[in-house]
Amino acid sequence: MLYQPAMKTIDLRSDTVTRPTAAMREAMARAEVGDDVYGEDPTVNRLQERVAGLLGKEAALFVPSGTMANQLCLGVLTRPGDEIVCDHGAHCISFETGALSALWGVQARTVVAERGLLEPAQVEAAIRPEGDPYPRTRVLELENTHNRGGGAVYPLDRIRALAAVAERRGLAVHLDGARLWNACAASGLRPADYAASATTVSVCLSKGLGAPVGSVISSTKALIADARRLRKRLGGGMRQVGILAAAGLYALDHHVERLGEDHANARRLAEGLGALRGASLPLPVETNLVFVAFEGRSAADLSRRLAAEGVLANPEGSRPDMLRFVTHLDVSRADVDEALRIAARVLA
């Protein structure tokens, strides 16, 4: 029997599928550690100080996941019976298992915004009037980049205008910046520029930056102290977690500047996929997310057919004919070109 080499898999499902590089693993192995529940892990403390500085905030907190990051922020900003205003496709209500209501007894008032980017007038109209019958609107939630918006980047002047509405109406602002690094790579702005208008900010280390796990939230010292207590309540108090924090520090040192490569690969992928018969790009490609609709065809079926040939991509979910492709650290330009060759054959 002839030897058949294993087929290489090109994984375009998400920028969370990356594996730590050899250098990142070495940094993890060498990490100085301590008990973080006691605040004694020096590597975690360095990571928290680093992220707080990047975001221009007083303090920060390392947490296991982006979901926990968002929910801790919303938990410290609300009380049971309150309401937040957000886009109808926001991650915090679409992909976090109903945590907003299950954990905090809080509901969302959603707004349908183009590409998920809210307009000040929409937010103004969504804020409840004062009165006994109404939930109290407490938080404006923004997502940058916006996942369901195809990796859409908020213009800075829009964020400032939205924050001005929130301040005038007495709302806190939470910025879900899971892919804030991508927003900065696309816009040329600093993380602190986007974070300046937000009460709380979450950023992810495992989306795009190649760390194996972890997110960081940042805010005032008082709110981070509250969030630390809620983290413990949710089982997120970790011990010698500097091993993971070291991966985050390495990612900030080595994997932020290269994000433009992912964006260029996404544009190349979008151009090639969009040229296929029956394919269209419903959303512009600004960062590393590519949404492709295939008229009259099942995204679930196309996903299975691509996977059989070694290209992984997920149905996007908002419509039955659309696939989502995500470029990242473990996808090279050559991988993109090979994925396009396979897609042209499979989807013909």
Q: Could you read off the pLDDT of 11-28 as tens digits, one per residue?
A: 999 999 999 999 999 999
| Whether the Cβ atoms of residue 137 and residue 169 lie closer than 8 Å to each other | yes
Question: How sure is the predictor about 348, in pLDDT bands with cuts at 50, 70 and 90?
Answer: confident
| Whether the Cβ atoms of residue 323 and residue 291 lie closer than 8 Å to each other | yes
Range from 26-35, 119-128, 237-246, 339-348 carrying the lowest mean pLDDT:
339-348
pLDDT at residue number 3: 41
Question: How sure is the predictor about 317, in pLDDT bands with cuts at 50, 70 and 90?
Answer: confident
pLDDT at residue number 4: 47
pLDDT at residue number 261: 98
Average pLDDT, whole number, for the chain? 96
Mean pLDDT of 286-307: 96
Percent pLDDT > 90 in the chain is 95
Mean pLDDT of 121-134: 96
Whole-number Å distance between alpha carbons of 202 and 348: 41
Q: Burial-class residue 173 by CB neighbours within 10 Å (0-12, 13-18, 19+).
A: buried
Whole-number Å distance between alpha carbons of 261 and 258: 6
pLDDT at residue number 260: 97
